[in-house]
Structure formats: C-alpha cells, structure tokens
A and B are shown apart, each in its own frame.
Chain A
Amino acid sequence: MDTPSDFTFTLSCPIPISDYPNVLLAHGGGGKLSHMLVEKMMLRAFGNPALDARHDSAVFTLDGGARLAFTTDSYVIHPLFFPGGDIGSLAVHGTVNDLSMCGARPLYLSAGFIIEEGLPMDTLWRIVQSMAQAAQRAGVQIVTGDTKVVDRGKADGLFINTAGVGVIEHALRIAPQSVQPGDVLLVNGDLGRHGMAIMAVREGLEFESAIESDSAPLNSLVQELIGAGIEIHCLRDLTRGGLASALNEIAGAAQVSISIEESRIPLRDDVRAACEILGFDPLYVANEGRLVAFVAPQDAERALDTLRAHPLGQGAARIGMVGEGGRAGIVTLRSRIGASRIVDMMSGEQLPRIC
C-alpha cells in the first residue's frame, strides 16, 4: 500500500515541469524524451505486469489458458499519401507488426478515425480502401471502429488509431527479458526507407527515382520463423527512432551489451545519399516493414535462410550480437575503419545540420 508520502508524490507530475512545462515534439519522437514520458508518467500512472514488460504489445493469459496479445497505435503522418503507402495501410501494418513482435498471430483490428472538417471525401475513401486491402493482405479483419469529425484546423486532415488483438500459439517467450549473451542479431532488409521517403516528399527533395517506404505487414515473416522452430528470444520492429533506439531499449530492458558492425548494416544507396545530404544517421531513421530478431546462435544461419526465403526478408543480414560481458544497456558499433563507438538512444528529433 502507498504510504502517505508516496501518495503525495504520485499526485505531483513526475516529469518536473521546470524542465518541460510544455510537451515538445521530441516527446513523441521515439528518442530519450519519448522514453522518459512513457517511463516516468505513463508507467507510473498505469503500472501493471502486462504494461511493465514494456513490449510492443501487452501479453496476457485468459482463464482457459489462451495467450493473447493486445496493442494500439495512432497514426498522424503527414503527408497522408507517400511513395510506397498511405496513412491507411500504415495504420494496419503498424498494429499488425506490433502484435507480431511478441510472436502473436494478429486476428482482429479496430479503427478509429479523427477527421478534419473539409477533408475531401474521395481522399477518405481512398484511405479506407487502402486499409481494407492492407488488412486483407495481412489476413486480419477490422471488426470495430469509430469516426469523429473535428473543426477545420483541429487536425491535420486525418488521424487514425488502430488497436489489435492476436493469439500466441507457441511456447516461446519473445521479449527483451529473454535476450541472452551470445544471441545473434538479424534484420530482414535495408534500413531507413520509410523515414527518408517521408522526408523526401515533405522537403521536396528529388532523387533519380523516388525512395519508397518499406511499409509492410511482418506477421507472415514472423510466423515462418516460428514455424521453422527457430529459438527466437526477442523481436522488435524498427519504427520511430530506427534501429539505434530499438537496440538501446532492448539493451536497457535486458541489461546486456549489444555490438553491431557498421559494414553489415544493409542500406540502399539512395537512402544513404539522402541521409548524407540532410545530415541524418540512418541508424535513427524510421522503418515500417523492418524488424530486428534476437535468435540463439545455433539457429542464426537457419533463421537467416528462413528470412531470405520470404519476400519481405530477401535482404536479410546478420548485423551483430549480444555481448558476453561488456557494459549493460550499452550499444556499440564497430565502424568501417575498425574503431568502436557508442550508439546512443536519440536525443530529441534528428534535425538537419547547417553544412
């Protein structure tokens, strides 16, 4: 039970308002401030065993013994349409992927629409159709929903929230806490495409051919890995904050060190070029169809083969491993010229540099 002093403490805002009297964009950027907002405010207010696992989805067991995964995510992307997808397909893929990252088979989604007055009906129809197609491709059904319309100027065209339920049909415990020293890290393809596709459209950057988002549902890929009997310890989709933030979160939650090799991280030349121009580090750029898998070393080669045999894993690569020892919670990268450096969690948002 709370002691009186604990009680007073929980009444005051846990994020000192002297530091941040207002919410900054960086509180939603997937870096340190986002992390702090969740850790210090949300977890403190809502804390319970399912939430405290800090996974992409909450996992719980029903009375009959069935294990379910449950998750939600909101989509506020601008522009609504981008090369390789739109807010509708993204809203389906994102939630399907969050369920997949705990090894669940996604079944049912909800869809909540917050629509700005004046949005062309045709735009909404295209997005709804796109969601229907994405759901069909992923093998999930959108079974409930809600629509709200707000005054012009109160939303950026359209915001979508989706929640999803999936069923876990295996005995693996796919979570950061299962990560072991010696685990091998695999990614299912080249990184940074989604973030740079959005950035290129927003900023009017033109390349020889448009960079397309990698947005895709990863459930069938994950089911292949599980079906192949791979000893998967942890999965994480590399969304906001990119590979670097995902690895830092896992290294912190599992209290292990992680090392990756710069030369093994798959990047397409157009994405690299766009990052160089803007001064972005591709390790921090968002993906919407990429995951990192932590697998037992004896299964690493088989896992890589399984990934490569799937259409969404053809560019899969082995990028690093969990250290034996090293410094807990720290991610290091061996650079192309052979030196080692820290890969930190992103602080704030990536901002284009001066020159």
Chain B
Amino acid sequence: MKYLDEYRDGDAARQYAQAIARITTRPWTIMEICGGQTHAIVKFGIDELLPEAITLVHGPGCPVCVTPVDLIDKAIEIAAQRDTILCSFGDMLRVPGTGKDLLSAKAGGADVRIVYSPVDCLKIARDNPARQVVFFAVGFETTAPANAMAVYAARQQGIANFSILVSHVLVPPAMEAILSAPQNQVQGFLAAGHVCAVMGYTEYEPIAQRYHTPIVVTGFEPVDILQGVHLCVRQLEEGRAEVENQYARVVRREGNPQARKLIYEVFEVGPRAWRGIGEIPNSGYRLRPAYADFDAERRFGLTARAAEESSECIAGLVLQGVKKPDQCPAFGTRCTPERPLGAPMVSSEGACAAYYNYRRAAAQPARR
C-alpha cells in the first residue's frame, strides 16, 4: 500500500539503524513527543534496532492521558443528565475519572456515542432537536481544526443544542516545561508530525535555540522514526540545535494556514491543567468570548470540583519522560487495561498501554 509499505520496509529500517550506529559516538537521550510515535516504536520494536547508546523516552503527546480527571468527571456528569447526548472520540471512553469512566456511564444508561469527527455531532444535534448534544473536545493542535469547525459550523447553521467540553492542549509549552524541569534528561526531540502539519514548525525554532536542543519534525512509520532519530543524532554529534523536517511529505514550514485561521476564529490560547503534570501557562485553547455560548461547562453550570487520582500512579513522570512505564511498581499488576490506575494504561496513544500490550513479560515457562 502506497505511503505505508515503503515506510515499513525491513531493509530500509535496518539501513537507517546501521547509519545511526555509525555516527553515534556517545550516549544520547531523545524524546518522541507523540503517543502515536511511542506506539509505533514499541509495536514494531524500533528501539531494539537502535545502538545501546541511544535512549528513546516517551513524551506527553497522548491527548487522552493529559486530559484532567475533573474534566472526565464533568463529561460523566453531563452524560448522566436527562435528554443529553455526550459524543466523544472512542479513546476517551475507558479513561478513569474519579469514580468511573464513560463506558461505565454508558452501561449505566447514559447516552454516550463514539464519533469519528466532531462535525458528525452536528447531524446528531439536528436529528435530536429536543436534546443537548455535547462533544468532548480533547486533543492537541491536530484535532483543533475539526473541533473548531464543528463550533464554527454550529453557529453558522444556528444549531443551538450543540456545545463542546474543551480540553485542548499545545505541544510547544509542554516541551519548554520538560526542558526547564530540573530532572530533565532529554537532549533532542522528535516533534509530532501531524501537529506540525497544522501548525508548521516556526514556533519550534526559538525553543531549539534557547535550550540548544535539536528538534526533528517526524512521521509515524518505522522508517520515518529511524530517519528522525538519525537526523537528531547527527545534530547532537555535530553540536547543532536546529529544527529539521523529516516528514516533508506531509509537513510544510508554514503548516496549514487555513486550518490555523479557523482555530483562531474559535479558540484563544489560555492556561491549561495537564493530568499528572499540573497547570502550564499558555498551554491550551479555550473558546473565545464570541463563542462562549458553545461552552458546555457554562451551559451546564459546571464548576471546579475535587477530583481524585490514584496516589500510586506515576503517569506524570511517564508523560515527562522521567520514568518508563515498566519502572512503575503497579505496572501490569495493580494497573492493567482492565483496571487502570491512570490514563496511559488505556489510551491507544498511552505509553503504559504500549508496554503492556506489546512488551509485558510473562512468568511461567511453556510446556515442552
């Protein structure tokens, strides 16, 4: 299949791995930002091809994982109301809130629906005029244009029974938070290709300079990731710290200006709480005042409440690349996809889920 097979080719992958080994003279720690990249690395075993000196650590780019618990509680509270339909990306449904998750709310009778695009919610709203339709708008810059489009189109079309519960986050402030943390070990980044498809990569240039850290915009297939690591290691070895674009078949330096125009029509930048990490200034989107009518928190009169996290979950450290999932004492024992303590164990972009699904060691020997 075009655009897939050539980037999953075993020979090409091994050649890049050898090229990386040839230029590596000392240990380097590189973080891939996006959870999609983490899953590709673990699923295809990309890190097993790398020289021992290269350590890949997994970043915060799992939108489901960084959505704060109190927002999930709010989504469950909205879903539980009469004559309300809560729509969500499938990924969010298994993420634990304080007491339960959205799947359990659904089993308990709430009308929770999976949508593939937020724009699908508008049809649901039109078909159910007597009910409130709420979309749980999470994600990084990648999902922001479609979420903005849903709100924009709802206003254009006068769909008054639609609103969104917003938890949008941004990559660059998170990278700065990681780089300025005292325990930081990250020396280079693989930036998230699809975020850059929307945003371009000019905003990464000052970060690379200020923290003297190379940033390589990288795709999601095995050969993409190995090329990204190769470009990053080459910069590190040569003492350079620039922004390079491995994912040129999708990403342009200026990104997608039309998509950004739509984002800024509907959203503005504001502070955001990140699950497991805490509040980061200017790290998310919120609805502009002109679109405040579409704010579900306002429409349903939801206020901040005390949310509870498992005290044992180290998701915050995992999301910042400080710990690997299998360094968590609860990993695979007290925390599994069936009984998760934290979001990274259930999200399809969560690092803990990747380790659990593809790497977990089993104890008993086989029958011979």
Contacts and interface: CB of A to CB of B under 8 A. Distances in A.
A21 to B, nearest CB: 8
Contacts, number: 140
A16 B348 CA distance: 27
Contacts of B359: 341-342
Given A254-B367, A339-B49, A344 B356 contact: yes
B8 A336 contact: yes
B1 A272 contact: yes
A23 B366 contact: no
A326 B103 contact: no
A19 interface: yes
A257 B284 CA distance: 46
A355 B143 contact: yes
B9 interface: yes
A330 B362 contact: yes
Contacts of A355: 36, 63, 139-140, 142-143, 194
A327 B143 contact: no
Interface residues of B, number: 56
Interface stretch (B40-48, B72-80, B323-331): B40-48
B178 interface: no
Nearest to A203: B116
A45 to B, nearest CB: 22
Contacts of B93: 351
Contacts of B142: 355
B14 A337 contact: yes
B238 interface: no
B161 interface: no
Contact of A337 (B46, B106, B357): B46
A344 B361 CA distance: 11
A339 B42 CA distance: 10
For the complex, would chain A's binding face be called helix, strand, loop or mixed by DSSP majority? loop
Interface residues of A, number: 45
B299 interface: no
A352 B368 contact: no
B84 interface: no
B8 A19 contact: no
16 contacts: A23-B107, A256-B367, A272-B1, A326-B366, A336-B9, A338-B45, A339-B49, A348-B338, A351-B348, A353-B89, A353-B90, A353-B349, A354-B64, A354-B92, A354-B143, A355-B140
A167 B157 CA distance: 63
Contact of B1 (A273, A330, A337, A347): A273
B180 interface: no
A283 to B, nearest CB: 11
B336 to A, nearest CB: 8
Given A325-B366, A348-B337, A351-B348, A339 B46 contact: yes
Contacts of B1: 269, 272-273
Contacts of A279: 348
Interface of A: 19, 22-26, 32-33, 181, 203, 254-257, 263, 269, 272-273, 276, 278-279, 323-330, 335-342, 344, 347-348, 351-355
A256 B338 CA distance: 24
Interface of B: 1, 4, 8-10, 13-14, 36, 42-46, 48-49, 63-64, 89-94, 103-104, 106-108, 114, 116, 138-140, 142-143, 194, 222, 336-339, 348-349, 356-368
A336 B368 CA distance: 28
B13 to A, nearest CB: 4
A101 to B, nearest CB: 22
Given A203-B116, A254-B367, A352 B90 contact: yes
B366 A337 contact: no
A335 B337 contact: no
Nearest to B4: A276
A54 B223 CA distance: 42
Given A342-B357, A355-B143, A328 B14 contact: no
B89 to A, nearest CB: 4
A338 B139 CA distance: 33
B362 A337 contact: no
Closest CB pairs A-B (n = 4): A339-B45, A351-B90, A347-B337, A328-B366
A344 B360 contact: yes
Nearest to A339: B45
Contacts of A203: 116
B338 A32 contact: yes
Given A336-B9, A352-B116, A355-B143, A323 B103 contact: no
A344 B357 contact: yes
Contacts of B46: 337, 339
A254 B364 CA distance: 13
